[in-house]
Structure 1
Amino acid sequence: MHRMTDKVQQEHNRNTICNKTGVGKWTAHPDATGDTQGVQCDEFPFAATQESGGIPTPVVNGGICAQLFAQKQDDGTWRLFDDDGYDPPTWKEICGRASMPGKQNGDAGRGPGLSGFFTKARVQNGGAFYMEVPQMEGCNPDDVCVIRP
């Protein structure tokens, strides 16, 4: 991916993918696990990247994204489920959005999250970076993929 520092464009990207009104609006899944900040919409690719679903012309709202929700399991693991309030994912979508715990969503972007990574790794505007999620490598989206804390 490539870092994009334009704050106005980042906000546009978030609002496009996590639109709360109009066609394809995001609605929190009732079974998503919330936290002290409730349930929020989280988008991927990140709003602060040039690959964000909010940038390509064809994406007019997040309704075309893969729709998921996060739920904490009794054993402490987290699972992502298809949000059946939308069409099932084809896994060819150029973007995804999910109902996530609000504090986790915020922390992923601020502090030690993505913003902290950009600073520590000195990734400049337009700079390329690779994202790796070891727990998900090789996971087939049709299977259950469990991330352990």
Structure 2
Amino acid sequence: MSTDTPDMTLPVKDWAQSPVLETRCDKVYGTGGCVIKDYSPGYSMNSKKFPAAAAHAWLIQNRLAPEFFGQTPVTPLQYMPNKTRNAALPSGAGRSETANRYRVCYGAAANKMVYRTDTALHPELSDSNKDKRSCDEYAFNATYQSAGMPTAEGGQNPKPVSDALQGRECVQTYEKKLPDGTYRLYDDERYAAPTWDETCGRSSMSLNINSQAMARFGSFASTFRLLDKDTYWVDIDGFQDCDATADVITCAQRP
């Protein structure tokens, strides 16, 4: 048996009358390994340490129906590897995930995110005690559900952002620190109020929060041997008591 071909599958029969499982083996991550092909793993976001990133992802997951991007294994995201590795896969896809991020967060000058000056910063999360503002987008740029990925290039978002408006078409939020020391994720009123027909979200957010919330994703992708278009979902804890269907969504994260 060879493990050189990324999409090779091996049927595995469970004699207890379970469905047939397909095991896929590869060497894409350096050393050979196998996974159950149709299993969708869940990436657990550290909601307690990075509440703003978690709240933003939860909001877009739970309010933007019927897609519910990455909410459960039934409505998963599809992984898009970086351009160099993606181009070598059987799909031949070669789009860079940074291109998706550019369309949602930066794009044309009239559409790029202008960070709110009252965006909360978290220098305490850095060894250098520094931080700056950034654009947090959901669905993630390295997925086929990113609103920055055109349908013509394989994008699976039902309404990708247009050339004319780009990231302005997303739900707009920002994190703010209140006088009592607590933090809140607010609607960014510099933009039109959300209609909830949007298919993406972008948030003015601390770079430390934004980047560190997903810092473990590389090892997650390696552990579960995610290849091009493999599915996964995002597990977000602490918002079980929140009602995403309310006209005004107000909720507190629970431990």
TM-score (norm 2): 0.52
Deviates more, 1:127-136 or 1:42-51: 127-136
Structure of higher CA gyration radius: 2
Aligned to 1:56: 150
Amino acid in structure 2 at the alignment position of 1:6? N
Q: Which of the numbers 164, 187, 203 marks the counterpart of 1:98?
A: 203
Gaps of at least 5 residues in structure 2 are 1-76, 84-94, 123-129, 152-159
CA RMSD in angstroms, aligned pairs only: 2.3
Q: Distance in 2 between matches of 1:73 and 1:148?
A: 18
Q: How does 1:60-71 map to 2 (within 5 A)?
A: 60=163, 61-71=166-176
Instruction: Identify the residue that residue 231 of structure 2 maps to in structure 1.
Output: 128
One of 28, 36, 40 as aligned partner of 2:134: 40
Contact 1:68 1:97 in 2 (8 A): yes
CA contact (8 A) 1:2 1:128 kept: yes
- Gaps (5+ residues) in structure 1? none
Identical pairs, percent: 33
Offset of residue 77 of structure 1? 4.9
What is residue 13 of structure 1 aligned with on the other side?
100
Q: How far is the alpha carbon of 1:148 from its aligned partner?
A: 5.2
Distance 1:76 1:4 in 2: 38
CA 1:20/1:33 → structure 2, altered by over 3 Å: closer, same or farther?
Answer: farther
- Name segments (4+ residues, structure 1) moved above 6 Å: none
| Match in the other structure for 1:2 | 78
Q: Deviations over 1:15-34 (max 9, x none)?
A: 00101642322111122102
Q: Which structure would you say has the larger RCO, counting Cα contacts within 8 Å and 6 or more residues apart?
A: 1
Contact 1:69-1:98 within 8 A present in 2 as well: yes
C-alpha contact 1:37 1:101 (8 A) present in aligned 2: yes
Q: 1:128 & 1:143 partners in 2: Cα distance?
A: 29
State the number of aligned residues: 147
Q: Distance in 1 between matches of 2:225 and 2:179?
A: 39
- CA 1:91–1:38: 2 relative to 1, 3 Å: same
Offset at residue 102 of structure 1 (A): 0.7
